Amino acid sequence: MATEDALFAGSIPELYERFLLPLIFDPYAEDLIRRIVQRTPASVLEVAAGTGAVTRKMMLRLPTDTHIMATDLNQGMIDQARRQCKAANIEWRQADAMKLPFPDASFDLVVCQFGAMFFPDKARAFGEAHRVLRPRGAFLFNVWDTLERNEFARTVHDTVAARFPHDPPRFLARTPYGYNDLATIRRDLAEGGFTSIDHAVVSSRSHAPSARIPATAFCQATPLRAEIEARGNLDETTGAVECALERRFGNGIIEGQIQAIVFSCVA
C-alpha cells in the first residue's frame, strides 16, 4: 500500500488545503517555524511540503534572501502550494525524498512536516537528508503520535472500520498515525547517519466549526478516500463519520486533542 498511501492527487490537494491544514497542521507548522528561525539558515530544503503549511511560514518569517527549495512527491500538491506561496526566494520542485536530486552538502537545514510516515524506506530517506546537509546542518521533522492521542483521527478510523468490518480501511493507523515508536525512529535515523538526535512531544488542541469539517478532512482529503470508495459510498461514509464526531464531541464548534513528536537532528 506504500504507493497508494502517498498518492495525493485529483481533488485531494484542494480539499487538503481547505480542510486539513487549518484543522491539524497549522499548530505544528508554527512549532516548526520557531525552531527553524532559531537556526538562522541561509538555505532550506523542505521535503514532503504538501500544500505549503510550513513553506508559507518560512516565506513570512525568514529573511527574504534565504533560499527555500520546497519539494513534494506529488505534483498536484506542489501546484496547490505554489498558488499560495509566491516569493522570489522559493523554488518548487517535484522530488522523491528517498532519491533527492541535489548535490551533497547543499543545505543548512532540511525540514519535513508530517511526511516521514509516508516514506517506504525511512532510513534511506533520512540518509538522503543527511547527505544533502552541510556539516552541522539540522534536520527537523515531526510525526503524529498514536491514534489514541489524536482524538478526531481515532474517531474517524473507528467509525470507518465499523462500516466495513470484513475489510476495514487501515490507512490512518497504517501510515499517518503508524510511525511513532521512538526506538524505531531513532534506529532509522541512526541508519541514515544521524548521531545527534533530540525529540519533544508536542500536544495541542484541534478546533472545527462543526463535525462536518474533520469528517470531510479525513474521509475526502487524504488517501483514506480511495479505500472508502473501493468499499462503499464516500458521501454516506463521510456523513456517518460526521454523526460519530457529533456524538462524541457535540454539535456546533468541536475540539479534540492532537499530539505529535518533533525531532531535531544534527548532521
The residue ranges of every structural domain in the chain are 2-266
CA distance 48 to 176: 13
pTM: 0.95
Mean pLDDT by 10 residues, the chain (267 residues): 72 92 96 97 98 96 97 94 90 96 98 97 98 98 98 98 97 97 98 98 98 98 96 97 98 97 97
CA triplet 213, 12, 153: central angle to 5 degrees? 45
> Which H/E stretch holds residue 156?
helix 151-163
3-state DSSP assignment of residue 229: helix
Closest by CA position to 210, among listed 175, 180, 232, 241: 241
CA distance 73 to 180: 22
Per-residue CA distances from 267 to 104, 107, 126, 130, 182 (Å): 12, 11, 11, 6, 19
User: What pLDDT, on the 0 to 100 scale, is given for residue 1?
Assistant: 42
Closest by CA position to 35, among listed 265, 204, 205: 265
User: What pLDDT, on the 0 to 100 scale, is given for residue 121?
Assistant: 97
Q: How many CA atoms lie within 13 A of 9 on its CB side?
A: 9
User: What pLDDT, on the 0 to 100 scale, is given for residue 3?
Assistant: 61
Long-range contact set of residues 166-172: C-beta below 8 Å, sequence gap at least 24? 167/231, 169/224, 169/227, 169/228, 169/231, 170/227, 171/1, 171/5, 171/222, 171/223, 171/224, 171/227, 172/147, 172/218, 172/222, 172/224
> Could you identify the residue written with the cell 530544503?
45
Per-residue CA distances from 126 to 19, 179, 182, 240 (Å): 29, 14, 15, 39
The CATH homologous superfamily to which domain 2-266 belongs is Vaccinia Virus protein VP39 (3.40.50.150)
